[in-house]
Amino acid sequence: MLTVFWDSQGPILQTYQERGTTVTSATYCDILQRELKPAIRSKRRGKLSKEISLLHDNGRPHTAAHTLETLKQLKWEAMEHPAYSPDLAPSDFRLFGPLKNALRGRRFSCDDDDVKAAVHQWLRNQPKHFLLMALKSW
């Protein structure tokens, strides 16, 4: 499973969950603290001193007390999930839809690394305005 953290300037972090594992509040908090925070520090210099807002769906790992406490410790905010979309985050339409279309029909070996490389390449090749337009559409 792919989790993408991005802003108007492009992707910040892509993480992949191992096959057969479940995303829990603990694993999500670990990603926030050990991967996302350093990625923001290196790719978006100065942003950590400003307000960081996350928009994610209402899945249990995102709304659990442990996650909310971690966000509070990081001094980050979780934005309200849009009322018109109770089940899916807007990025499911603006980011993952075009990604699925781009990968449709391609054959990959049994090795997940080929898929990860294709996803990484697709994200890197998107024009700067691609994600900015997605944000403006909300």
pLDDT in tens, the chain (138 residues): 888 888 878 788 989 888 888 889 999 999 999 999 999 999 888 888 788 888 887 788 888 999 999 999 999 998 877 666 555 565 666 778 888 898 899 888 777 888 888 988 888 888 777 766 665 555
Tokens of 116: 């990860």
Q: Would you tell me which CATH number, out of the four given (3.40.50.300, 3.40.50.1400, 3.40.50.1000, 3.30.420.10), belongs to the domain 2-137?
A: 3.30.420.10
Give whole-number Cα distances, 51 to 72, 89, 130, in Å. Answer: 12, 21, 23
Domain boundaries, the chain: 2-137
